[in-house]
Structure 1
Amino acid sequence: MKASTSDADPSETEVAFDVLADEHTQRILAAASRKPVSAQELADDCGVSPPTVYRRVDELTAVGFLDAEMQPTEDGNHYRTFETNVERIRIVIAEGSIHTDVKHGGDIVDRFGNLWHDLELDLHG
């Protein structure tokens, strides 16, 4: 599904729609929102193959919807864990345009900034 926009960055909106249109991506985001999980855990939880998980997590990390972190193992190897970095995606349709407003997760400072941003939006439309 492609979105056409007039005054928003069309690439951000199109990316959000395209990424979220996929059922596997939705399941991965939901599973990784509980706690950091490995690709194998995502494959098991979501009922998809590991290659499918890797394709989706690459897309999700590239657009900032998923964070990846390396975890060391006792034998000196390592693996990545993934955690959802999105709290809310809002679709705004107004005055002949459509765009997305993505609220990313973060620490308390980020959350205060997001709260302030939301208050400004409520006050100014």
Structure 2
Amino acid sequence: MSTGRWATQGTGVDEQDLLETLGNKYSAEILCAAQSPASAQELSDEMGIPIATCYRRIEELVEAGLLECEGRQLSEEGRRTNVYRRTLDELAVDFSETVPSFSCKERSEAKNRIQDQME
């Protein structure tokens, strides 16, 4: 696992904001479900999350650098929608110092391609 401030580097998100984002209802569930590309509607339907809440959580997770827009796809209704995938597989928080520090295991592009081929 890499260590340091990965999740907050260059994002404008500080440690407290990141913890708040992760603590919001549904954030962790969205990250777990987004191991493969999924639209907000797919995530909402899969987890039974209200669509407006799902969009808010996705926006927060993208701003924190934990989720990224991977592209666009056609929905069942024929509309182009963004699809999202998480950017990491593991995240640990160390509270032993005055400021939390983070360790993470990022998702590699190779892992994403392999997983896409398996689906």
Larger mean CA deviation between 68-77 and 88-97 belongs to 68-77
Q: In the TM superposition, what is the alpha-carbon distance from 1:20 to its structure 2 partner? A: 1.0
> Which runs of no fewer than 5 residues in structure 2 stay unpaired?
1-8, 111-119
Note the alpha carbon deviations across 1:71-123, whole angstroms, 9 max, x for none: 24399852100111122111123355432223322236xxxxxxxxxxxxxxx
From the superposition, tell whether residues 92 and 40 of structure 1 become closer, same or farther in structure 2 (CA, over 3 Å). same
Note the alpha carbon deviations across 1:22-73, whole angstroms, 9 max, x for none: 231111111112x111111100111111111111111111111001133243
- Distance in 2, Cα, partners of 1:22 & 1:40: 19
**Alignment partner of 2:105 out of 94, 103, 117:** 103
Q: Report what 2:45 is aligned to.
A: 44
Q: Report what 2:24 is aligned to.
A: 22
Larger Rg, first or second structure (1 or 2): 1
Q: Report what 2:34 is aligned to.
A: 32
Taking the TM superposition and a 5 Å limit, the aligned residue runs for 1:80-95 are 80-95=82-97
Bigger relative CO (Cα 8 Å, ≥ 6 apart): 2
More helix by share: 1
CA RMSD for the aligned pairs? 2.5
Q: How many residues align?
A: 98
From the superposition, tell whether residues 97 and 48 of structure 1 become closer, same or farther in structure 2 (CA, over 3 Å). closer
